[in-house]
Structure 1
Amino acid sequence: MGLNDIETSTEPRDVVRRQYLASAAGNLEALRATLAPDVEWTEMEGFPLAGTYRTPEGVTSNVMERLGADWTGWTAHDDTYVVEGENVVVLARYTAVNKATGKPIDVRVAHHFTVRGGLIVRFEQFVDTALVRDAMA
């Protein structure tokens, strides 16, 4: 499948992949385009941005823009996809350097997406929050 197919596909895996590509490129408009208007995006308790955010604008302003403000080169590397129907689980890792401390992270994560009608309707993050907090201290 070529990149153009991924850009238009409504298959759950492709929608999620578009979200990672947009995030890595810093293209928040393209990222918002992968999210349903009533999206529920949950950052894990203990994570610096813990909470559930709604609306595409709410997600990008409360998560991606804040990560960009606090970290240099924040990237979610999407390594492995497990797809079952509308559920997409991605085994990934975060890499970045904290701007305040200069400390790097390289931490494994799991992301669970629910995709309906070609849009992400739910997201839940699983991460070793202590490793992220340690880099901030």
Structure 2
Amino acid sequence: MSDFDTSAAPADVVRRQYLASAAGDLTALRATLAPDVEWTEMAGFPLAGTYRTPDGVTSNVMEQLGKDWEGWTAHDDTYVVDGENVVVLARYTATNRATGKPVDVRVAHHFVVRGGLIVRFEQFVDTALVRAAMPN
């Protein structure tokens, strides 16, 4: 096991979350989340709302994205770290299963990491671009 795998550094914890998500490893993803995590999907996004608990996040967000979208991936590319705050600039790519329309949209994610676990997440995305690929 490498130092990265066990590091409590906020950027490392967040990066492990992205890697687990991309691999579809919900167990590893849940391991990055605090028991009382607050995960907020932006108003206007198909899964808008705040979800709590690691199981609540994966069942209401990741599993739902997998049902509605083929290949849903958050491609993280730029990290800005200030103490426990990690802002990630990323891109979502996927194809809607119902319409066959692709989505390719820039996003920003704000994470708060304490004690080696994500305690809060907030998503910022152009929801109109995501909705344009969905059924009317």
State the TM-score bracket (shorter-chain normalisation).
Answer: over 0.9
The alignment yields a C-alpha RMSD, in angstroms, of: 0.8
Instruction: State percent identity of aligned pairs.
Output: 84
TM-score by length of 1: 0.97
Within 5 Å, give how 1:1-137 maps onto structure 2.
4-137=2-135
Unpaired runs of at least 5, structure 2: none
Look up the equivalent residue of 1:86 and give its one-letter code.
E
Deviation of 1:6 (Å)? 1.5
Look up the equivalent residue of 2:95 and give its one-letter code.
V
What SS does the aligned partner of 2:3 have? Answer: helix
Distance 2:40 2:79 in 1: 19
What SS does the aligned partner of 1:124 have? Answer: strand
TM-score by length of 2: 0.98
Look up the equivalent residue of 2:82 and give its one-letter code.
E
Deviation of 1:57 (Å)? 0.1
- The number of aligned residues is 135
Deviation of 1:5 (Å)? 1.9
Distance 1:77 1:5 in 2: 23
Runs of 4+ in 1 over 2 A off after TM superposition: none
1:77-121 Cα distance to aligned partner (Å, 9 max, x none): 001000000000000000000000000011000000000000000
Look up the equivalent residue of 1:54 and give its one-letter code.
R
Unpaired runs of at least 5, structure 1: none
Distance 2:19 2:3 in 1: 14
Look up the equivalent residue of 2:117 and give its one-letter code.
L
